[in-house]
Chains A and B, each alone.
Chain A
Amino acid sequence: AQSVAQPEDQVNVAEGNPLTVKCTYSVSGNPYLFWYVQYPNRGLQFLLKYITGDNLVKGSYGFEAEFNKSQTSFHLKKPSALVSDSALYFCAVRSNTGFQKLVFGTGTRLLVSP
């Protein structure tokens, strides 16, 4: 069975500072990893994904994530946070074997202060 852990319910960062939102996963086979963002009263929006290849993945709005197979992690990062980045962030994983459902983490609320 696959699972995702987002150990932090909330991350606080000042505008202009770098941010990291943590994600670790467990899956049989090789993982497909995703990050989504949810703004208040909205649906989830896709940010980026790792399928194969370069461990550093770049996505929308200046976000990037680093796949680390040995640590089974896929942390989301941004060099300089904006107040408008404040939202709920979800990490998700599925196995690359057969058709498997996408399993989401519990979400991390990012608060960027001015």
Chain B
Amino acid sequence: DTAVSQTPKYLVTQMGNDKSIKCEQNLGHDTMYWYKQDSKKFLKIMFSYNNKELIINETVPNRFSPKSPDKAHLNLHINSLELGDSAVYFCASSQMGRGGYNEQFFGPGTRLTVL
């Protein structure tokens, strides 16, 4: 019954590789997000999709490409991985609503380690 799920939970890979992280939500929400949490626990948004449309695209290297095949899924593909990409990546979802004031529900996170 997990509301927001991510796979894999752990990802260890070599520099230069390409990897993907998948996210699915079963809450019926129309908006999904990707966040990056660094080693100091600082949390920063990367992307947001509303009804499969990209609405937030922060200053993120273009090696990161989100893809939303439908409202329930938001995947993150990362090309040419670098050491600095090592972090925990969180997926989240919310219902946008009229005022956008609804809380976000977070997945358990994917810990990416680039060697």
Binding site for B on A (CB under 8 A): 32, 34, 36, 38, 41-46, 49, 51, 88, 90, 94, 96, 99-102, 104, 106-107
Q: By the criterion CB–CB under 8 Å, are A43 and B109 in contact?
A: yes
Q: By the criterion CB–CB under 8 Å, are A49 and B109 in contact?
A: no
Which partner residue on chain A sits nearest B55 by CB separation? A99
Q: By the criterion CB–CB under 8 Å, are A94 and B100 in contact?
A: yes
CB proximity to A under 8 Å, residues B80-112? 90, 92, 96, 99-101, 103-109
Cα-based distance from A94 to B45 in the complex (angstroms): 12
Sample (11) of A-B pairs whose CB atoms are under 8 Å apart: A32-B99, A32-B101, A38-B41, A42-B108, A43-B4, A43-B92, A45-B106, A46-B103, A104-B44, A106-B42, A107-B42
Q: By the criterion CB–CB under 8 Å, are B108 and A43 in contact?
A: yes
Which partner residue on chain B sits nearest A109 by CB separation? B41
Cα-based distance from A41 to B41 in the complex (angstroms): 11
Q: By the criterion CB–CB under 8 Å, are A101 and B45 in contact?
A: yes
Interface size for B (C-beta < 8 A) is 25
Q: By the criterion CB–CB under 8 Å, are B101 and A49 in contact?
A: yes
Q: In this assembly, does B43 line the interface, its C-beta being within 8 Å of a C-beta of chain A? A: yes
Measured between beta carbons, the chain B residues less than 8 angstroms from A41 are 109
Q: By the criterion CB–CB under 8 Å, are A46 and B105 in contact?
A: yes
* Neighbour of B99 across the interface among A34, A96, A107, CB < 8 A: A96
5 nearest A-B residue pairs (beta carbon): A43-B106, A46-B103, A44-B106, A104-B43, A32-B101
Cα-based distance from A43 to B9 in the complex (angstroms): 11
Cα-based distance from A41 to B90 in the complex (angstroms): 11
Measured between beta carbons, the chain B residues less than 8 angstroms from A88 are 41
Q: By the criterion CB–CB under 8 Å, are B90 and A44 in contact?
A: yes
Cα-based distance from A44 to B42 in the complex (angstroms): 12
Interface residues as binary, B17-51 with A (CB distance below 8 Å gives 1, 0 otherwise): 00000000000000000000000111111001010
* Neighbour of B48 across the interface among A36, A43, A44, A101, CB < 8 A: A101
Q: How far is the CB of B87 from chain A (nearest CB, A)?
A: 14
Q: By the criterion CB–CB under 8 Å, are A51 and B101 in contact?
A: yes
Cα-based distance from A101 to B48 in the complex (angstroms): 9
Q: By the criterion CB–CB under 8 Å, are A34 and B103 in contact?
A: yes
